[in-house]
Chains A and B, each alone.
Chain A
Amino acid sequence: MSGRIGLITRYVVLGGLGIIWLLPIYLLLANAGKLTSEYSGSELWSPGNLPALLSNVGEVFSTTDVPSGLGVTFLYATIAPLIAVILGAGIGFAVIVLKLKHGFFWFFVVFCGTVFPLQIMVIPLFASFSQIGLFDTFAGMTIVYAAVATPFSAFVMRNFFAGIAETVFEAAVVDGASAWRIFTRIYLPMSRSALVVVFILQATWVWNDLLLALVLTQSASTRPVMPLLAALQSTEGGGSAYTVVLTAALIVSIPTALLFMFTQRVFQRGLSLGQY
C-alpha cells in the first residue's frame, strides 16, 4: 500500500534531516563538556565528559553574573510577548473581522515597524528613553519589547483571522454579541495555535535579545541575561574560559528550548493530513 510507504518515507526524511540539524548541537554539547585544557580546535568532534561539564556548570554559577539576570529576563520574555499578542490580535481583529476603513493602510503602518533595522534605532531610543525616565527601567524595557514584537503578532493574527469564515462573525452578530465579546469569546479561543506560535516565537526573541538590552539597561535589577552572557567574552584578557562561556551560552538556552518542546502539543491537534 502506497499509504504506508509514504508514511515511512516521511519518517525517514524528517528523521534524517532532524539528525543533520542536531549535529551542530552535538558539537556545542561535546565542547561544553571539556575543560579549556582539554578543548582543541582540531578535535571538535571528540566527545566531552560529564565531570568537565559539571565543573563548567559550576563555574557558570559560581563565577559569573549570568544566573542573576535570569529572573528579570523571564519577566520580560513573558509579559512583553503577552502584550504583543493581545495588541496584534486586536489589530488583526479590527482590520479583518470588523473591516476597519483603510484597514490595509493601518496594517501596513504597523508592519513597517519590522522594516527598519534595530541597530540604527537604539541610539534615538536611548536618547528619548533617558529624557522621559524610561531608561534602565523595567517598564521601559517591557514597552520596547512589546512594541517590537507587535508587528509580527499583527501580521500572523491578521492572516489567521482572514482564514476564519465570515459566517462565524455574522452568526455572533445575529446573537447580539458585542465586538469585545466576539473577540474574547470566539476569535481568541479559535486561534489558540496562532496565539501560541506568536507568543513562543516572540518570547524567544525577547529572551535572546542582546542589542536593546545592552543599550537600554544598566543596573543589575533591569539587565537581562544576554548582555551579561556576552560580557563574558573577552578580546583583551580577562573574561571567562572559553568552554565556560560556551556552557553559559547553553544554560541560558535551556528555558527557550523547553518552551518549544512543551508547546508542541498545541500543534498536534487540527485535521489530519496523514492519509494523503
Chain B
Amino acid sequence: MRPTRSAAAAAVLLLGAAALSGCSAGGSSGADSGELTFITDKTWDFDTFSAESKKDIDVSLATTAYADQEAFQAFVKQSFRTNKSPGLFTWHTGGQLEELVAEDLVAPTTDIWTKAVENGDVAESVRDLYTVDGEQYCTPISVDDWVMYYDKRTFEEYGLTAPTTWEEMMTVSDTLVDNGVTPFWNAGGNPWAFVWFQILAAGTDLDLYTGLTTGEVDWTDPEVVDVMNIWLDMKEKGYFTDPGSKVAAETQMKDQEVAMIPFGTWYASTLTTVGLESGTDWGVFPIPNVNPDQETTPVAIETAPACTAENSPQKDLGLEYAEWWMSSEAQTAWSEQEGNLPYNPNAEASTEEFQAIGAEFADPSYEFYLRWYEAAPAPILTASLDQFTGFMTNPGDPTPYLEGIQQVADEYWAGN
C-alpha cells in the first residue's frame, strides 16, 4: 500500500492544486475547545440535546448523522487508522463492541462506570452489556426495553384489556381477527425479520435463545422447530400483517389496521409523529411468556452505546461527555426529548405509560436479555434475517429455512 498511497498523494494533490483552491473545513479541535465531533447512525435529535450539555458542562456536539448503518460501521472501522477517529460515536453492544475491544480501539470507561453504579445512576445489569473481559467500554445513550404497544382505541372498541399471559394474548388476537383487525405487526427483511422469532424463542426457553447465539444449540433441534411451528400456527390464523407491505407499523396502527406492535421503548417518539398520543391512543404491556412454566419473564433490551476512540484527538472531551450522558440531569433531558424510558433510576420517564412499565420491570420476575440483532454474530444474523423473511413470505415447513441458517452457523462456528 505504501508506495501507491504516496504516489496517489502526490498526483492527487497536483491535480487538486491545479484545478481548485482547497477550502478545507475546520472542525477537528483540541480537547478543551468545547465542541465535540460526534458521529452517529441514529436519527435522534442530538442538536437539542447538545444545547442541554452546552448549558450543563459547556460542551456541545458537532453531530454528523450517517443514514446507512452498514456504511457507517465500515466508515468508523476505517477511521481508526486515520487521524479522523471520532471523539464520540454510536455503536452496538455484543459482538460488534468485542470486535473493537479486541483491537484496543475504544477507550475503557471502567472508572466512569464504577462511579455511576455507586451513585445508583445505572443498574448492574446494564453494566454487564458494556463489559468485555472485566473492563467497561463506552457508555449508554439509552437502554430500551422491548414491550408490546397496543392500540387502546381498538381494544376499547372490542371490549379488550391488555393481556397478562400468552393465552390471554391469543384470545385477544382471536377476537381481533374476528373483527377484521390484524393483531400483530410483523415485517420481513433487515432489520425487523427477527422480531417474532426472538419473542417466541426467548418466551419459550431463554436458554434455547442464548444457546443459538453461542452455537451450543443447533437450529435444527426439535425445540427450535417447535418455536417455528408456533410462529407458523399464528401466521395461519391470520395474526400477522403482510410482510410484503411497506406501510410503516405506526401508519397501520393509526388506521386501526393493526392492534399490537412489539418494539423497543424508543418507538414512542415515532408513534407521536403520526399523531397517536401516549395513554389515550396507545399503551404498553410486557410481552408475556409463551411457556408459562418459565420462571422469569424475559424482556429484550437493546442499548445504544456512545464510544470514544482510543486514539482520537478528542479522547478526553469524548469521555467527559460520555460520563455526563449517564447523569440523571442528562437522562431526564434525554427522556423528555425522546419520550422513551430513561435507564437512570434517578431520572424520570416523561409519560405515565412508561413510568408504569419502568416500575413493573423493576420487579425481579423479569429477566433481561440482549435482543437478537446484537446478540447474534453478523453472518448468522444476516442468514437468519434472510431465512425468516423467506419463511414469512412462503410459510410452511420450517425445516429447510432452519437448515439454511444452520449451514451458515456451522461455517461460522468452525472458524471462530
Contact = CB atoms under 8 A, between A and B. Distances in A.
B414 interface: no
Contact of A126 (B15, B65, B78, B273): B78
B75 A215 contact: yes
A227 B43 contact: no
B363 interface: no
Nearest to A234: B43
Nearest to B10: A132
B334 to A, nearest CB: 11
Contact of A132 (B9, B19, B26, B273): B9
A137 B19 contact: no
Given A143-B15, A219-B26, A231-B65, A238 B247 contact: no
A176 to B, nearest CB: 29
Interface string A219-247: 11111000110111111111111100000
Contacts of A242: 248, 251, 273-274
Interface in A104-134: 122-123, 126-128, 130-134
B268 to A, nearest CB: 7
Contact of A37 (B15, B20, B25, B275): B275
A140 interface: yes
A41 interface: yes
A36 B275 contact: yes
- Chain A CB within 10 A, most for which of B5, B21, B65, B267: B65
Contacts of A223: 64
Interface string B182-197: 0000000001000000
Interface in A30-44: 35-37, 39-42
A39 B79 contact: no
Contacts of A36: 251, 254, 273-275
B82 interface: yes
Contacts of B22: 137-139
A127 B252 contact: no
B62 interface: yes
Interface stretch (B66-74, B127-135, B309-317, B350-358): B66-74
Given A227-B66, A231-B43, A238 B16 contact: no
Contact of B5 (A131, A136, A221, A235): A131
A48 B66 CA distance: 31
A240 B273 contact: yes
A138 B254 contact: no
Interface in B70-99: 71, 74-75, 78-79, 81-84
A153 interface: no
B179 interface: no
Given A127-B78, A219-B25, A234-B270, A40 B255 contact: yes
Nearest to A229: B67
A211 interface: yes
B44 A42 contact: no
A142 interface: yes
B415 interface: no
B146 to A, nearest CB: 12
B259 to A, nearest CB: 16
Contact of A239 (B21, B26, B43, B74): B43
A21 B246 CA distance: 22
A135 interface: yes
A228 B66 CA distance: 8
A95 B81 CA distance: 41
A136 B66 contact: no
A143 B12 contact: yes
B280 interface: no
B255 A42 contact: yes
Contacts of B39: 218
B255 to A, nearest CB: 5
Contacts of B247: 41-42
Contacts of B267: 237
Given A143-B12, A143-B16, A137 B251 contact: no
B9 A236 contact: no
Nearest to A222: B25
Interface in B22-53: 22-27, 37, 39, 42-45
A241 B191 contact: no
Nearest to A142: B20
A211 B71 contact: yes
A220 B273 CA distance: 26
Interface in A5-36: 35-36
Nearest to A41: B247
B266 A236 contact: yes
Contacts of B44: 237-238
A219 B68 CA distance: 17
B64 A123 contact: no
A248 interface: no
A143 B67 CA distance: 24
- Chain A CB within 10 A, most for which of B13, B39, B270, B275: B270
Given A143-B16, A231-B65, A237-B268, A133 B24 contact: yes
A40 B245 CA distance: 12
Contacts of B65: 227-228, 231
A196 B44 CA distance: 41
Closest 3 CB pairs of A and B: A41-B247, A230-B67, A237-B266
29 contacts: A36-B251, A36-B275, A40-B254, A42-B257, A79-B20, A122-B71, A123-B74, A127-B78, A130-B79, A130-B84, A131-B82, A135-B84, A136-B24, A138-B24, A139-B16, A143-B15, A146-B19, A214-B75, A218-B37, A219-B27, A220-B25, A227-B67, A236-B264, A237-B264, A237-B266, A238-B269, A239-B43, A241-B273, A241-B274
Given A227-B65, A237-B340, 4 more contacts: A126-B78, A138-B25, A234-B270, A235-B191
